[in-house]
Every structure is written in structure tokens, then in C-alpha cells.
Structure 1
Amino acid sequence: MAEEEVPSVSSLFDKYLKLYEAVENSDKPTNSEELQGQIKEGIDGLIKTTVLVSELGVFSGNEKVDELPTSSLKFLLLPVILGSLTLKRTDIERREVLRLAEVYFRDFVKRCHNYEITDVELAKEENNEDEEDEDEQKKDKRKVKSPVKKGMPTPEELQAMARQREDKIKRFREQKALGDRLVELKKALDNPSHDEDTFRQYQLTRLKKFVWLSLDEVESMAMEKKMLEEMARMRLEGTLPSPDNPRPTPTPLKPILITRDAVQKNVFGLGYPSLPSMTVEEFYDQRVRDGWFPDPSKNSNCLQDRATLGPEAEREREEKEEEQREREEEEDNPERLQRDRERDEWRDDHRRGWGNTYNRS
């Protein structure tokens, strides 16, 4: 009987494995009717296949992976595929989805560890959620009493976070290496002349990759369960609105109008001393009257005035300056003599080049 049913079980498994791969690679929304129909079909078929494998006694608890035939290795994937499909179900409550999926993933990792395919072990569950005599409301009340930790993490928690980060990096690298190895083995299997050892290595590598996938899914589900528990606690306390209650209508926003006076106030500071009281020309004339700036009508010796003068006017100006200088020398102007003496004394005490002691050429 076993010899007649093993091939049918193998073909049945291959059928639903292709259905699982089609669901994983589908770009349709998870809650679409078509995809949910495929998920339900795959779960029902894989459950039947699991029952047939159990009835045939394909696996034994006292065997190791070396004692298993290559054709039976793929049946170890049954629980992990069931867990992946169960996570995508939307027809039941999310807590129940997480509970069922975690049972499948933990069973797969435990089997692979028992058969020495991997040395990875999952931590034990924090609480037992299989208590049927406790309704959901009592569970929620019990979870409310659990204190929520707040504040900065302790040094021990920081060390645990660092170890967790290193484990995730290591896991990611191993997953990538296993993925690359699977691609190589898949190409080798496409060759019709591949040997049995290549096919066995492919099966074992695929199992190891699904082990790491199960670890990621279990960690993600643990975080999601904490979120669901926190949301349930907030609903009991009344801090989280129920999805059945309609949201309050928000207050309509009032339009903001920018007037001319508002613009002037922002630019000039209307109503404050910063408002200008005179123009630039008026300010300059005021400074000229106060004696701060020279009077441009009396002094035309600036560079700007010289640039506006023509060549003849420039020569006339130079001739007038020369005549003024000669006249002062002939009349022995005391102010000029005093200025010349001071200049000569300064030059005697400050010879040219004396100050250039650090940058001599």
C-alpha cells in the first residue's frame, strides 16, 4: 500500500508547492477573493498531504537526516509552507492567524533541529495561548495588568539589543549565501545528467533557507502580538477608539487673508520705531550740515570728481595746486612749514624698509 501511495503523495505535494510559489509571487492584494481562494485551497491540500505522510510513516523520531531518503526530504517543508499560507489568511481573526502560523513554524524548526539539519533552536513561548476555558475578555483584562516599561534602556538591555543586531546581520548573510547556493544548485538540476548528490544538496539547502525564514517570521509575529495586546489594552482603557464608532468630524479650517497693512507691518515694522523717517539723500544732507561728511559743492578733490573732469580741467586743477604750493613756500606759510618739518622728522625716524623685517625679498 505504501509503495502505491508514496508517488501520489509526492505528486500531491508538488502540486501544492507550485500553488504556494504562485501565491508568493502574486502581485494581487492579499485580501482579494481570488488570492484568498488559492490560499484556502493550498492550506486544505497541504493538510491532507500532511495526514497522508503521517499515515505512511515516512518519518521516524529516532532517525537522522543521513538516514532519510532524498525523496522524503521535501515533506519536511509541509509545516513551514502551511505557516506561510496561514499568515496570509484574512477570513479569521488576526490573533488566531498568528497562533496557528506560529505552531507551524515552530514545528518545522523543531523537526529540522531533531534531524540535525540545523543547530538553530527557537526560544520557548512566553505564555500558553491554548487555554480554551478562558475567553478573550478575560485574557485582555489579564494583559492590561502587565506593566509597560518606559524610560531609557538599561545597560543590560542595550547589550541584548547589540547581540540581537549582530544575530540579524549574521542571519542575513547566511540567508544570502543560501540563496546564492540554491541558484547554483537549481542550474545544476536543469542538466539532465545531474547526480543524486546534487539533488540532495538542493533539498537540504532549501530546508536551511526555510529555517531562517521561520525565525524571521516568528520574531515578526511576536512584535505583532505585542501590538495587538497593546491595542486591546488601550480599547479597554478607552484611549483607543473602537473601529465601529465613527470618527468625529474635524473642525473646518479658517482661511488666512494677507492684507496690505499686514504686509507693510512685516516688512517695515509698522507701529514700531523701525519705520524709516527719511530717505538716503535726506540723511546724507543732514550729515553734511552736521559736519560729519564733506560738502561735495566745496570739495572736488575726490576720485569720483576727477574721473568726471576732462583732460583740460584736470590740467587746470594741477596748475592751480602748483601755484598754491609755490605761493605758500614764498610766503613761508607757518602751517605748511610745520607740516613739512614733522614729515621730515618722521622720515628720519622711519627709514624706508625698516618695517619689512619678516618679508624681506
Structure 2
Amino acid sequence: MASSDEPQSLRALFEAAEAKRQEVNEAPSATSPKYAEDLAAALKLYAQALDQISALSLFSANEGVEDIATSSLPYLLVDFYIGELVQRTPHLAPKERLQVLDQARSAYERFLSLADGYGLLTAPYDKLLERYRDEGEAFAVVAATGADMAAKREGKIANFKAEKALKDKMAALRRNPRYLEHGDEELVRELHLTSIRFAIHSAFQALDSLNREVPLLRSAPSPSAAATSKGEDPADTSFRLDQPFDGFRPGTGGPLLSTKGKPLQPFTLIGSRADLAKGVFRPGHNLPTMSIEEYLEEEKRRGGIIEGGGTEPPRKVVDEDDMEAVDRETYKARAWDDFTDDNRKGSGNTLNMG
């Protein structure tokens, strides 16, 4: 028979587990190392509490809820809390997530069976449990078959109102002065029973969510399996569309320009190599990039740039001691002067003559 004088070790275990569960619930991120540590610690403490409950035979199938001591009522929730925490375990791989959901499902089922044995599943939850046992993984809180959209909407509204009513009742009990100041046994017991009813409601919601997630996980192939089935190396990323265009970089692939200057591959010109370096941490580019300096180097390599073009050629320095060379330069200068005297500037341009 249930007793109110359970060992202090069980109470201490349960309180420590509750404290860790609260830390998990208040964690800012589920990816932090502390979250994983608190989650594992809470699950370990709840598992130890279950062992104590079993060793003490705290609950019996031959009893009713009125036979459970008020101080022992919170221990009915241990399996529910385990299911809730296990379901929140972060996993990325579908196979691992499926294992997590199986463990959570088992914990919820143990909790609901225990609560049902004590007659705590009143309407409409008694009918939900019957449907769950019949439908298994096809179960949904709002039945999906044989119901139109209006009926589904009404079911969701009723579900929301039931959850809100339970939350409001728990909040009102906690605010009651008889509970706060005197720890009135009747109010304490009612609060525990309402918390159990809220957990029953939440367990069915969790099973509904779990049943919607499982088919998606089962239909999602793992990355390695998908690659292996296609005869690919899982580490090979050459199939990706967002590959860096290293083969299009100057000097590492084919020519960027034809001998006539026609682009053979798409590329983007940027101001300088410094500008290219600044863009490393920006979103990836779809086209290969090259600086203007690299473009000019490529042009020079293919012979598209004539060295020295566009500048005045250097004047030839005549050795003044070489009289023949001096005479040649003098005659050349006089011939040019005679030519410019006889031919007015622009006289050869006939395009603009009216």
C-alpha cells in the first residue's frame, strides 16, 4: 500500500531531478554543451527515482487514487517527465531521432497506463487512450479520417480550450492564500491531481506530434546511404551546384579568352586583388572572379596587349662625334620641315569637307 513516509532519498532524488528539468526548460539554446549535460543529469536522476519507486512498491494495480498519499502523487509523473525530456534530445540523423522517439513513446505509454490504472483518465482522455491503443502510429488527437475541415477546426479549438482551462486552474490553486500560507492539504492534493491531468493532456499531444514526425524520418535516407545507393563516395561533393569555380581561375583551367578576345568562360571583373580578398566572407559567387590585374595578365599572356602601345617612342640620341649620323638627322629634319610647309595640317582629311 502507498505510504506517505517514503525514504528521504526518493524525495531528494525527485527534487534534484525537478531542479535539473527546470534548468533544461529554461536553457537558451538546445545546442549548448550545458543543455546536453543538464538533460543527461535530469534523465539519470529520474531513472534512479523510478528504481526507488519500484523497490518501494509505491504504486499498486489493486489501489485507487484515493489510496495514494498526497506526498506520493507527484511521483506518478516521473515517466511523463522522462518521455518529455527524451523527446527533447537533440539529434540530427534520422536513425538516431527514431530511436529517441521510440524511447519517448514507451515512457508516455507507461505514464498513461499507470494513470489509467488509477482511474485518472476521465473524459475525453479515456476515449483518446482507446483510440491510441487501436491506431498506434496512425493516432491523432483530432481524428484525420471521416472529419471535414470544420470538424477538425472545432476539435483543435476544443483541445486548446481544455489546455488553457487546466493551466488556469493550476495557476489559481498556486495563488490561493490557503495554499501559499498554510499549505492546505486539500489544495495541495488538488494541485497535484490537476498537474497529472495536465500531463495526461500533454502526453496525448506529444504522441500526436511524435506520430507526425516518425513517417518523415523513415522516408528520409541518410546522406551516406543515398550516396552509396548511387555508387558515389559520400565525401565527394562534386555533384553540388555551388562548387567554387577554381577551374576557371587564370592559369588553372582552360583559356578565358580566344585569340580574337572572345570570352570562352563566364567571369566577373573586380577592382583589384584586395577587393577579391575583402569578399571572402560575403555570400558565395555563382561566377568565377578575377581582378583587373589578373585580366591584364591573361590578355598579355595571349598576346592581346602590345607593350609600349599608346606612348611616344623615346627619341633617338645622336652621337655628336659621329658626323655622318648628325648629317642624316639634319637632312631628315629639313625634309620634314619642307613637307609641312607644302602640306597644310588637316588637308588630307576629306571626310569633313562640304
Q: Which residue of 1 aligns with 2:315?
A: none
1:211 aligns with 2:211: no
Q: Aligned match of 2:219 in 230, 238, 250?
A: 230
Distance verdict in 2 for CA 1:161–1:102, change over 3 Å: farther
Deviations 1:115-147 (A, max 9, x none): 11123143127679xxxxxxxxxxxxxxxxxxx
Measured after TM superposition, the shift of residue 193 of structure 1 is 1.8
The unaligned stretches of length 5 or more in structure 1 are 129-155, 256-361
Deviations 1:212-233 (A, max 9, x none): 1111111111111011112139
Distance verdict in 2 for CA 1:220–1:186, change over 3 Å: same
Deviations 1:1-53 (A, max 9, x none): x88753321222122112112211221x2122111001001111100100100
Give 2:165's aligned amino acid.
Answer: A
- Cα distance in structure 1, aligned partners of 2:6 and 2:85: 25
1:220 aligns with 2:209: yes
Classify the secondary structure of the residue corresponding to 1:124.
helix
Give 1:168's aligned amino acid.
Answer: K
- Cα distance in structure 1, aligned partners of 2:115 and 2:220: 35
Distance verdict in 2 for CA 1:32–1:56, change over 3 Å: same
Q: Aligned match of 1:185 in 155, 165, 173?
A: 173
Asked if the contact 2:169–2:194 (Cα under 8 Å) also holds between the matched residues in 1, the reply is yes
Q: Which residue of 2 aligns with 1:100?
A: 103
Q: Which residue of 2 aligns with 1:49?
A: 49
Give 2:242's aligned amino acid.
Answer: P
- Cα distance in structure 1, aligned partners of 2:158 and 2:181: 35
1:201 aligns with 2:190: yes
- Cα distance in structure 1, aligned partners of 2:32 and 2:134: 32
1:76 aligns with 2:64: no
Distance verdict in 2 for CA 1:32–1:184, change over 3 Å: same
Distance verdict in 2 for CA 1:161–1:72, change over 3 Å: farther
Classify the secondary structure of the residue corresponding to 1:44.
helix
Give 1:99's aligned amino acid.
Answer: D
1:62 aligns with 2:54: no
Q: Which residue of 2 aligns with 1:37?
A: 37
1:124 aligns with 2:128: no
Number of residue pairs the alignment of both structures matches: 225
Distance verdict in 2 for CA 1:16–1:125, change over 3 Å: farther
Measured after TM superposition, the shift of residue 63 of structure 1 is 1.5
Distance verdict in 2 for CA 1:26–1:61, change over 3 Å: same
TM-score normalized with structure 1 length: 0.55
- Cα distance in structure 2, aligned partners of 1:195 and 1:38: 33
Distance verdict in 2 for CA 1:4–1:168, change over 3 Å: same
1:26 aligns with 2:27: yes
Give 1:77's aligned amino acid.
Answer: L
- Cα distance in structure 1, aligned partners of 2:12 and 2:222: 47
Distance verdict in 2 for CA 1:61–1:245, change over 3 Å: farther
- Cα distance in structure 2, aligned partners of 1:161 and 1:114: 35
Asked if the contact 2:4–2:72 (Cα under 8 Å) also holds between the matched residues in 1, the reply is no
Distance verdict in 2 for CA 1:67–1:159, change over 3 Å: same
Q: Which residue of 2 aligns with 1:167?
A: 155
Classify the secondary structure of the residue corresponding to 2:133.
coil
Q: Which residue of 2 aligns with 1:112?
A: 115
The unaligned stretches of length 5 or more in structure 2 are 138-143, 244-284, 289-354
Measured after TM superposition, the shift of residue 175 of structure 1 is 0.8
- Cα distance in structure 2, aligned partners of 1:3 and 1:208: 21
Structure with the larger helix share: 1
Q: Rg bigger for which structure?
A: 1
Give 2:133's aligned amino acid.
Answer: K
Classify the secondary structure of the residue corresponding to 1:192.
helix
- Cα distance in structure 2, aligned partners of 1:185 and 1:242: 61
- Cα distance in structure 2, aligned partners of 1:51 and 1:83: 16
